[in-house]
């Protein structure tokens, strides 16, 4: 049975987190204290670049438009060096639309978020530049279901965001860079070049994976010798050794656009088509953190994986050793623009005792229903397809010409 597009970004995103708080201009209160409330976008937007800053300065508030202070003059000069005019080519807004001299933060950002997202929807920019972590919180924060961490994790990525059909480029805020040392300024200027590069390339087409749910594993026998696959397990925990642990389901991506997925059969005979793939030394294997699949295969299926070929997590570390960037969900967003396909499943994959590495998670609760099993399998299928796509991208970046695109 083929499944397409089960996890819709639109189904899982929200403008504000449902935490019981009220988010509005009235509850925020800053609108009463500034000269230019709800500051409108400023700029002629000729190159369809939307710049999102953090908060208006006092001078911005007095003049009624963004980037009027020293930071704005610095930004205008730096953008000019790469052939972009801040006023003519861009439109500028902020994560917080009203000036204040008071300490503000996440709450005020949440109050302004609907306005920011509406501007993005109305303007339909080609590129969205996020200057500073507050801008990241505003545009990405309500849709990213994991920890945002800090700007260091996000700066320098060119994200083909599939919600907005725009490339998102988070960067340090000009205020941080204007008086920074030469090393920081050099990094920032290299990051600015990403804006210019993005202008010259079309937005990448996203192809929805086809996830084939199978009960009988016979289709796996048709995967030919010499193929390359990515495979993924959903299990009862992190480690396979404790009593009661088992592999719940598995997926096998045989191309970058297609995966087979199945609940793991209980009998050896029924599992054999999959186990035969693991032992086949001519079939190259891809995984995200291969030691996980290796351990579960060995302990629970009594089969070591032959011909490991690519570990997408290890390859990510080669390209970028920053903390928090090597996870599959993060890489799927920054590389392919899919911001969430896992939040509905994630709570069930958390251990009841997170201090015990052998603890049982809550996946058994999810698979009590037919719909729960289906959701888990689609999620698992997406994992293996995205691992395959990520491996292809990484090999291309390393100029390794092994697999066809």
> Is residue 161 within a helix (H) or strand (E), and if so which, with residue range?
strand 159-161
Residue 142 contacts residue 159 (beta carbons within 8 Å): no
Q: Which pLDDT tens digit goes with each residue over 316-334?
A: 999 999 999 999 999 999 9
Q: What is the pLDDT of residue 403?
A: 54
CATH fourth-level superfamily of 15-199? Uracil-DNA glycosylase-like domain (3.40.470.10)
The CA-based angle 43-44-48, given to 5 degrees, is 100
Tell me, what's the pLDDT at 19?
56
What is the dotted CATH code of the domain comprising 210-397? Answer: 3.30.420.10
Q: Report the pLDDT value the prediction gives residue 399, as an integer from 0 to 100.
A: 86
Question: Rounded to 5 degrees, what are φ and ψ at 35?
Answer: -80, -35
What stretches in the chain show pLDDT beneath 50? 1-18, 404-405
Tell me, what's the pLDDT at 405?
A: 42
Nearest to 248 by CA among 288, 214, 205, 296: 296
Two structure tokens written together for 143: 């849709």
Q: Residues near 399 by Cβ (< 8 Å), separated by ≥ 6?
A: none
Over residues 194-220, the pLDDT tens digits come to: 999 999 999 999 999 999 999 999 999
State the pLDDT at residue 356. 77
| Structural domain spans, the chain | 15-199, 210-397
The answer to whether 243 and 373 have CB atoms below 8 angstroms apart is no
């Amino acid at each position: 049975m083929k499944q397409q597009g089960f996890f819709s970004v639109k189904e899982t995103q929200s403008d504000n987190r449902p935490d019981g708080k009220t988010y509005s201009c009235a509850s925020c209160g800053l609108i009463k204290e500034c000269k230019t409330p709800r500051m409108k976008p400023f700029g002629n937007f000729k190159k369809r670049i939307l710049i999102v800053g953090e908060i208006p300065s006092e001078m911005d508030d007095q003049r009624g438009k963004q980037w009027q202070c020293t930071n704005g003059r610095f930004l205008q000069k730096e953008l000019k060096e790469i052939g972009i005019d801040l006023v003519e080519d861009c439109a500028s807004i902020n994560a917080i639309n009203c000036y204040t001299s008071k300490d503000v933060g996440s709450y005020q950002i949440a109050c302004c978020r609907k306005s920011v997202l509406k501007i993005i929807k109305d303007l339909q920019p080609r590129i969205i530049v996020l200057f500073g972590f507050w801008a990241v919180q505003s545009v990405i924060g309500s849709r990213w279901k994991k920890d945002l961490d800090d700007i260091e994790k996000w700066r320098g990525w060119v994200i083909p965001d599939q919600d907005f059909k725009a490339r998102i480029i988070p960067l340090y805020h000009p205020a941080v860079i204007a008086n920074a040392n030469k090393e920081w300024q050099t990094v920032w200027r290299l990051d600015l070049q990403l804006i210019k590069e993005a202008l010259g390339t079309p937005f990448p087409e996203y192809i929805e994976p086809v996830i084939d749910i199978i009960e009988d594993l016979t289709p796996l026998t048709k995967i030919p010798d010499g193929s390359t696959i990515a495979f993924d397990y959903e299990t009862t925990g992190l480690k396979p050794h404790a009593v009661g642990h088992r592999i719940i389901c598995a997926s096998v991506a045989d191309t970058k656009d297609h995966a087979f997925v199945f609940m793991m059969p209980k009998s050896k005979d029924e599992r054999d088509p999959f186990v035969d793939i693991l032992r086949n030394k001519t079939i190259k294997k891809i995984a995200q953190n291969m030691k996980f699949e290796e351990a579960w295969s060995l302990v629970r299926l009594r089969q070591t994986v032959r011909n490991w070929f690519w570990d997408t997590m290890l390859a990510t570390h080669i390209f970028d050793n920053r903390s928090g960037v090597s996870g599959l969900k993060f890489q799927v967003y920054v590389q392919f623009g899919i911001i969430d396909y896992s939040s509905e499943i994630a709570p069930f994959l958390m251990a009841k005792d997170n201090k015990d590495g052998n603890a049982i998670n809550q996946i058994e609760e999810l698979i009590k229903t037919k719909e729960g099993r289906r959701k888990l399998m689609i999620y698992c299928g997406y994992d293996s397809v995205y691992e395959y796509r990520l491996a292809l991208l990484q090999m291309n970046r390393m100029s390794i010409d092994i697999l066809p695109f």
